[in-house]
Amino acid sequence: MALDFQGNIVSVIQVIALILLIIGVYPYRIRTKNRNLIMHGFLSILALALNLTTVISVMIPIFSTSITFISGLPILQSTIVWLHVASGLAAIILGLVIIGSWIVHPLGELGCSKVWRLMIPTFLIWALALVLGLIIHIYNIV
């Protein structure tokens, strides 16, 4: 079974976004300077922007045209698709909350520090959505 080109590109972009989040942990861990925390924030913004770009330009159009097809899938496949949608939406919303709290405050105040407890759950939910998306892509579910 051949994988579609568009799905391959989206998968690669999503993996790159996840790698950016992982790389972004390093500047956070060495918080000796605000500059490192700012780099952590910008890497997170870039990852979220890549994610949103692929969701808006590819995933939403495919999902909206395949909604009737998805409802006819076997229960396991349908569950994977709906769990992917739910976890992806949750990750985007949580990511926007975290990034939004950082953007609305001056950089010196590091407003995201008020929502730091959301960062690891958001990362884990994002990783779950990515894994489910890769399963959907590899097994040509949708």
Helices (H) and strands (E) in the chain, counts: 5, 0
Residues 13-31 pLDDT 10s? 999 999 998 888 776 666 5
Give pLDDT, residue 138: 92
pLDDT score for 48:
95
**Domain span at 114:** 5-138
Q: pTM score, two decimals?
A: 0.86
What is the tens place of the pLDDT at every residue in 43-101? 889 999 999 999 999 999 999 999 889 989 999 999 999 999 999 999 999 999 988 88
- How many distinct structural domains can be found in the chain? 1
The pLDDT of residue 104: 80
Written as six digits, the tokens of 13 are 């972009």
Closest CA to 133 of 84, 86, 91: 84
30 CB burial (10 A radius; 0-12, 13-18, 19+): exposed
